Structure formats: structure tokens, C-alpha cells
Amino acid sequence: MEQPLVTAILCTYNRESYLREALDSILAQTYPNLEVLVVDDGSSNEAMFRILDEYKGRITVVRRPKNSGTCELPRYEGVERARGKYCAFLDSDDLWAPGKISKQVAFMESHPEIGLCHTYVNVIDGEGRVLKIRHEGRLPPTGNCGKALLENCFISISSIMVRPRVWLDAVDRKNIVHLGMEWDILLRAAVKHDFGLIPEVCAAYRRSSEGVTTSNWKWTPRDVGAMERIWESRVWSHFATRTEMRRLLQEAYLENAGHHHALRRHVHCAYFVMQGLRHGIFNVDLHAVLLKTLVRSVFK
């Protein structure tokens, strides 16, 4: 049986620390019919360029002239250039298990109705040590997962295999202007397509200080900025009522407020409370967190 071509898409920007490991994990795949696209998002890192040069003949490098300020635009452009029947993504600090692509191709070939499939991933530290399985036991089974996606973007980018048109049709490239828009794209894809889950660990997600979202306190622990975009776009209306979506927003702001309250970051906590109250002015829990952080800030 002919094995369909799969395009592996790795996007990078001035990152050399884990790039060689990521590329090696792609090239170590047991699946033979693989093209590798590396999309460089306007980098200036000469050490990174030297690493890419080591892989000449095994990878294709696409260099963008200017940094996009996102992860999603270079990834999207990689899908546009892909020749494969399927595309699979790998962030430049993450890793694939050797059998990942083989397992996902077998799944997608036997489930032509599925637009995208994903897997469990290990969370690893900067040294590659396994910390835990991300979202262990909490990923919904194969099927329509749009409503579950509203609560949390539980799909790890480096675990995805997708039919190219599913990704490209989810959003117009001109609308990819924010960092962290994979949640938006996945939700829009879920409107028309079921997602598949392979309930095995097939990739590793690296948690390190070099991550692009590490220093953004507004994304901790929930990306409420993405949730606000989802609210404004009304894509949520395919999966939930207005009341349900407002409740999800309040819960997300409450979680962030509680997180920063515990860390004694009073201003950050108050910010999340006030933003959350826009979606539920009478939310008792938000008012309680605000009161506690005000008391703590006065009597610190």
C-alpha cells in the first residue's frame, strides 16, 4: 500500500537551544515518506543558521524576511507550502516520539471523516526530564470536542496531525495577527470537523524559561486574551449559550485572580477581578477574591 506523504512543519525564531533535538526527533521517525519544512520567522541568530545548515538535503528551510510576532502565521504559511496529504507540527523546543507519525497516519487513513488528530504529550523540563503527562486523563475521546475546547485549549500543537485544508479553511491568513491564536484556529476547525484522539504519549512539550509565553502574566494560568477574542468572534455560539460562555469567562478570570492573589501580586489579581466582573458583575467569588487581596495589600 502506498504511504501518503506527510509534511512536518517546524517553525522557529532565533532559537538554537533545542533546535537540533527537535529536528533529530523528526528525522528519527519510523515513517518513511516525510518532507520536513522549517519556517524561519525572520531570525537573525547565526548560530541557529549554522545548525540548520547541518541538515541540508534533509530539510527545506523557508525564510520569512520579517518576524510576524506570532507562532501561527509561519505555521500557516508552512501548511500553504506543504506537499503532504497530512501536516504535522512541531515547536522548535518540543520533541516527537519515533512512532508518532506512523500511528497518526494509520489513524487518519482509517478515519477519513476526521479532520485532525492529536495525542497525549509528556511535559519535560529544560533538561528533557519528564515532569508529567499533560492533561492526563482529561482529553475528550474522538468526536466533536468544540464545547470542551471552549473551556481550555487542551490540544498540544506538537501532537497534531491535520488535513491541510482543515487548517487553512479555519481562518484567513490576514486575520492571524495575535500571538497564541492556535486556540482560535482549533475552535473554528471544530465547527465543521470532528477531532481524533490517539490516547498515547507520542510527543513532548517542553516547559522552559525560553518559552514565548513565559513572561506574559496576562496568560497565567489561563489565556483570557484568547478567550476574549473567542467571545468577540462569537465562534462559541456553535457550542454554547451566551450564559455558558460568560460563565466560562468568569471562571477563567477567577482562576487567574486566585493564582496571582496566592503569589501576593495584588495589582495583577485586581486586574483579573475587574475584567471578570465585566462578564458577571454579581459574581460573589470574584468580589471575595478582590476583598481578600485589598485587605492583604493594606495590612501587608
Answer whether residue 73 shows pLDDT above 80: yes
Q: What is the DSSP letter of 45?
A: -
Mean pLDDT along residues 187-192? 98
| Contact residues for 111 (Cβ-Cβ < 8 A; gap 6+) | 117, 142, 196
Least confident of 106-110, 142-146, 237-241, 295-299: 295-299
208 pLDDT band (50/70/90 cuts)?
Answer: confident
- The predicted structure's pLDDT at residue 215: 58
Mean pLDDT along residues 90-97? 97
- 109-144 residue pLDDT tens: 999 999 999 999 999 999 999 999 999 999 999 999
Phi, psi of 263 (to 5 degrees): -90, 5
The enclosing H or E element of 37 equals: strand 34-41
- Which residues in the chain are classed under CATH 3.90.550.10? 6-206
What percent of the chain stands above pLDDT 70? 97
Grid coordinates 478582590 are at which residue?
A: 290
Global pTM?
A: 0.93
180 pLDDT band (50/70/90 cuts)?
Answer: confident
* Residues pairing with 64 in the sheet: 41
Answer whether residue 214 shows pLDDT above 70: no
| Contact residues for 242 (Cβ-Cβ < 8 A; gap 6+) | none
- 225-278 residue pLDDT tens: 999 999 999 999 999 999 999 999 999 999 999 999 999 999 999 999 999 999
Determine the Cα–Cα distance for residues 281 and 248; give it in Å rounded to an integer: 14
103 pLDDT band (50/70/90 cuts)?
Answer: very high
Phi, psi of 76 (to 5 degrees): -60, -45
The CATH number of domain 6-206 is 3.40.1160.10 = no
Determine the Cα–Cα distance for residues 148 and 133; give it in Å rounded to an integer: 19
For CA atoms 213, 19, 85, 41, the dihedral sign is positive
Name the average pLDDT for the chain.
95
